[in-house]
Amino acid sequence: MSRYREYNITDVIVFDTYDEIYLWLYDVWQDSTKIHIDTLKDITRLLIRNIETVKEHEEYFYYCKSLVDAKKHEIGFPSYFIQREAYSEIENKFENGKIHLIVGSRFSGRSYFLAALYRKFSNSGDVYYFDSRNAPSENAVDYLLKQKSSIQLYDVGSLKKNIFQKIVKDVNSLARNQNTVVLVLGHDTTEFMDFVKDFMRENPSSAQNIVRHELANRFNHKDLQAINAKLPIVSIPPFNAGTILDNLIRIPEEMQRRGKFSREHLEIDDEKDLVLLLILAIKESISSRDVEKFGVQKQLYKYLTKYNWFLEAVERSSYSKSAGDNSSFIYTVNSRYWLSLELGNYVRNVDNISSVVAAYVEIVKSCIRYRKDSSSSITQYRSVYKPYIQFNAINAIFLTHKGGQLYLPLKIYEALTPYLATDFQFIHQFSKCCLRYSYLLEGNEKARIEQLEEAQKKVNLAKSMLCQVMEKSENEGLKRSLAHFEYTQATIQCELFRLKYSVEPDAFESTVQAVYDAIISPYNTDDYKNDSSRSQGIKTFIQSMAGLLAKMQNSVQSDTLTKVRNIQQIAKNTESGNGLIF
């Protein structure tokens, strides 16, 4: 040893293998992160600091900086911090001497909720706060469980399974000592939640001292108003109605700034990856039964492993299960926005479009196989694939900075036609796609007219097929569908009249008839009130009817003149909110 002492080396630790070195270092590191009994006083005296500078606010918002600074023994509260309505509801149900489980997905505000509790109760006695980076040692937990009238706040991410179980098992002792424990958990902590369920089932007398609360991953209307009154003050744009994570990703994009998720990009290797991602983009979730049905088990595991901040497993409650799908788990996305943005980037490369189309075909074929392998009715069969063929859904999931990718839905509908040509709802969606695509052809009148005429053929076919069904049976759903088909017919007819016919009396009369059939239906009132391009064509035609009649003088039938007056009155009453009055 004398030779080592020359270099001030006093001790030498010898290991048999490299693995033993790594394991020892890991154990030492873990122990160094634990809070021991002699340091517990530090976490009962955290300084509460209000964040003031714009730069600091940007660190908390754009980079999701932790609220707790363990080195400075303080919690920072940004000025946009709000008391969510959910927080108040949970606090109103707060009872001393109980274990409160706060369950929510990632980025649902669990850490902010713990911080809010600490701020509220920090002057009410001993309050212990363990965020996800500060794990209490087992000795420290033993000490805490023997305290009286304390409040203990734990992020379960900091707890080992055996310590979590120790706390739950000690629930009756906690109640006697009036200790209140708050445990925040993710939906993906199934091992912990299973233990709680088993414990409550086996110990019914203890179950009354364990209370579960859910925390949503998006703000309600009142919360949005509250936070949006504060964000612009620190130069951060307001939130929209998306999830919290949607907004944390969207706002840096819009502000052209880097953020915590700026370098996160979706890895897409093959069509099976796309099958899973398209389902998630449209439905925001997939059940374990559907994972098997669509054959995407490997793909799900891959994305759960690599993107666990974005995709997570949620255990389904008994009331959310159905006879058609009693899956125990559902896999949900925390940011539909990010997924749509990544899919939009993917289809910017035109070489990828064929893969997306093939994935869509595979989804629909799987739905058809499901129909053949089950005793489901045609209505149930349609409901299985309906979410995947809706034009608005297809267009919205490929997000770019300029909006959707209208060429892609057109190719998807063309590829799906051999499988769904007998479904009038599918044909109608195809027609809407052709109509919307025609708007992109402004300046190329010939191509635009061709696309509108194709849309017209399709909606006429869809309506004819629907009317045949209605001859045998008629219900509210079919009447609503008929009204929507007629609204699409009227929209197309108004566009064609403007481009092709101008002042031809016959074309004017057929357009008036189409508009009359469309807006006379109460099912179309909301569509007419909508200021979208689909409604604008009809509104423009209605506004121009008086001038067109003057040009055509006596060439128009009296029946058409009556319809014109009725249309004008209906439009006036609908826009004023008085409904349909004749």
**Mean pLDDT over residues 5-25, rounded?**
69
- Asked if 140 and 34 touch (Cβ cutoff 8 Å), the reply is yes
- Asked if 314 and 330 touch (Cβ cutoff 8 Å), the reply is yes
At residue 306, the pLDDT reads: 93
Q: Which of 18-27, 106-115, 242-251 is least confident?
A: 18-27
Query: Can you give the pTM of this predicted structure?
Result: 0.77
Q: Report pLDDT digits (tens) over 382-437.
A: 778 888 888 888 888 887 644 446 788 999 999 999 999 999 999 999 999 999 99
Higher pLDDT: 525 or 115? It is 115
Q: Report pLDDT digits (tens) over 532-563.
A: 666 788 888 888 888 887 777 677 788 888 88
With a cut of 80, say whether residue 31 has pLDDT above it: no
Question: Please, what's the largest Cα pairwise distance for the chain?
Answer: 119
Buried/exposed code over 139-160 (b: 16+ C-beta within 10 A; e: otherwise): ebbeebbebeebbbbbbbbbbb
At residue 190, the pLDDT reads: 78
- pLDDT-derived band of residue 80, with 50, 70 and 90 as boundaries? very high
With a cut of 70, say whether residue 114 has pLDDT above it: yes
From 495, 414, 424, 512, select the one nearest 453 (Cα to Cα).
495
When the pLDDT of each residue in the chain is averaged and rounded to a whole number, the result is 85
**Mean pLDDT over residues 35-45, rounded?**
61
**Mean pLDDT over residues 17-35, rounded?**
59
- pLDDT-derived band of residue 158, with 50, 70 and 90 as boundaries? confident
Cα–Cα distance between 409 and 402 in angstroms, integer? 16
Higher pLDDT: 499 or 324? It is 499
* Element (DSSP H or E) covering residue 201: helix 190-202
Give the tokens for residue 122: 């920090």
With a cut of 50, say whether residue 321 has pLDDT above it: no
